[in-house]
């Protein structure tokens, strides 16, 4: 239900504005019971990824609007899951835009808490070799 409500803010707009989407979504999330808010933050991230068109990565305005530490951790973890959860069928088919989007999103993780949240996801990326996991960990440090 939360995801549908959050996606509604995106699907009716031709070119969604990340700052406006963040403000509207966070206002909506505040109305949810406290036990649902962290999950709703993940839904907000996944809704943006699913319904917006961006070749440059996750918008800094959207992540920047999430100021509650627990919610920000949930957003960073959701971004890592989206970016790296599945192995590309053929790594040579990864486009320059996809590679740029990944790196731009990794660059958003500026605080120690952001970096720690991103690093916690890396061991679960079992399709990566130990060297690839270490490279990814180095990129989020």
Q: Which two tokens stand for residue 129?
A: 């070799």
pLDDT band at residue 22 using 50, 70 and 90 as cut-offs: confident
Helix axes 34-51, 2-11, angle to 10 degrees: 40
Of 15, 81, 89, 94, the C-alpha closest to 45 is 81
The answer to whether residue 89 scores a pLDDT higher than 70 is no
Report the distance separating Cα 68 and Cα 117, nearest Å.
Answer: 14
User: Count of CB atoms within 10 A of residue 23's CB?
Assistant: 15
Instruction: Determine the 3-state secondary structure of 13 from DSSP.
Output: coil
Mean local confidence (pLDDT), 71-100 = 79
Tens-digit pLDDT profile for residues 34-78: 999 999 999 889 888 887 766 667 889 999 999 999 999 999 999
pLDDT at 83: 84
Whether the CB-CB separation of 117 and 140 falls below 8 Å is answered with no
Tens-digit pLDDT profile for residues 96-126: 777 788 888 899 998 999 999 999 999 999 8
């Amino acid at each position: 239900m939360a995801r549908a409500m959050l996606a509604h803010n995106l699907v009716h707009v031709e070119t969604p504005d990340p700052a406006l989407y963040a403000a509207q979504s966070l206002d909506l999330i505040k109305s949810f019971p406290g036990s649902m808010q962290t999950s709703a933050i993940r839904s907000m991230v996944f809704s943006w990824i699913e319904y917006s068109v961006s070749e440059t990565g996750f918008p800094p305005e959207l992540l920047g609007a999430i100021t509650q530490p627990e919610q920000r951790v949930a957003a960073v973890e959701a971004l890592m899951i989206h970016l790296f959860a599945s192995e590309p069928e053929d790594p040579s088919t990864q486009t320059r835009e996809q590679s740029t989007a990944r790196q731009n999103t990794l660059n958003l993780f500026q605080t120690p808490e952001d970096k720690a949240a991103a690093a916690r996801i890396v061991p679960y990326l079992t399709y990566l070799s130990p060297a690839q996991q270490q490279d990814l960990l180095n990129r989020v440090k």
